[in-house]
Structure 1
Amino acid sequence: MDNVAIVVEDLEAAVAFFLELGLELEGEAVVEGAVPDRMTGLDGVRSSIAMLRTPDGHGKLELTKFLAPAAVAAAPQDPPPNTLGLHRVMFAVDDIDDTVARLRRHGAELLGGIAEYEGVYRLCDLRGPSGIIVALAERIG
């Protein structure tokens, strides 16, 4: 897999959120023209993108803000975790409590609480910028 793309409303806020999570900014660009039009099946695409990579270099996340045509909201707003489609992106962290505290400063909200799974993991789901659900996993055993 090369990357996972997420459409966001506020690119700057989304980039700050994922930088706080430990991803590294690889680059930013504005894309438009025949290639994105052909890929998406939309006419007149113009979007700002930021490409981020995980610290180990194995995963990439593309954050996209559509400038034209405007992004459309999925219904319902902030869908629950059992909604069909892309569910969430999960990241391994060293300290889940510290990570949650840092992401809260970027507007993240816990969907439930931090749960322990069979003495092996501490896990949680957060809602981040543009309603993105991010899961965190801290290995404890």
Structure 2
Amino acid sequence: MGLKRMDNVGIVVESLDAAIAFFHELGLKLEGRAMIEGEWAGRVTGLPDQRVEIAMLVTPDGHSRLELSRFLTPRVVADHRNAPVNALGYLRVMFTVDDIDATLDRLRGLGAQLVGEVVQYADAYRLCYIRGPEGLLIGLAEELKSGDPA
């Protein structure tokens, strides 16, 4: 098979600093920030003359990355942040956390809002969706040990 791994998920934001702070509080580590521009970048994305500031964050296990992008040029042309969960296209990023209640408490301090409620799926998970920075939809999952009453 030719596939080796999924390298990262990209999210376009208005405030790179606010998004970095939010995902850092969630537990991701900032690997670096950079400006992406030049002829080569436009050839990859199909957006000539682009100037994009990016930040790359990595999960604690080092296996997954989140690339946050703030477009300086060209301007943003669409906004999918507040699309409902049944909208076509990319929907959300899901993270597994140790304690969903403690995570929600920390993230609410940065403006996160619970979309519905925290629910339990069988004896396997507690799950919820939140709206994070700029209305981004983010899923949280807490793996349950067999016998957890949650």
> Which residue pairs with 1:95 in the alignment?
99
Query: 1:73-108: per-residue Cα shift (whole Å, max 9, x none)?
Result: 326x61111111011101010010010111111111
> Which residue pairs with 1:139 in the alignment?
143
Give the drift of 1:130: 2.6
Give the drift of 1:115: 0.3
Aligned equivalents of 1:93, 1:45: Cα separation in 2 = 36
Query: 1:41-74: per-residue Cα shift (whole Å, max 9, x none)?
Result: 1121001100000000000000000011111232
Secondary structure of 1:44's aligned partner: coil
Give structure 1 regions of 4+ aligned residues with deviation exceeding 2 angstroms: 72-75
Aligned equivalents of 1:73, 1:41: Cα separation in 2 = 16
1:18 aligns with 2:16: no
Secondary structure of 1:92's aligned partner: strand
Secondary structure of 1:113's aligned partner: coil
Secondary structure of 1:38's aligned partner: helix
1:9 aligns with 2:14: yes
Which structure is higher in RCO with an 8 Å CA cutoff and minimum separation 6?
Answer: 1
Q: CA RMSD in A?
A: 1.1
1:118 to 99, 115, 122: 122
> Which residue pairs with 2:88 in the alignment?
84
Uncovered stretches (5+) of structure 1, i.e. residues with no partner? none
2:74 to 66, 69, 74: 69
Uncovered stretches (5+) of structure 2, i.e. residues with no partner? 1-5, 146-150
Q: What TM-score does the superposition give when structure 1 sets the normalisation length?
A: 0.95
Aligned equivalents of 1:62, 1:81: Cα separation in 2 = 22
Report the count of equivalent residues.
Answer: 140
Aligned equivalents of 1:121, 1:51: Cα separation in 2 = 28
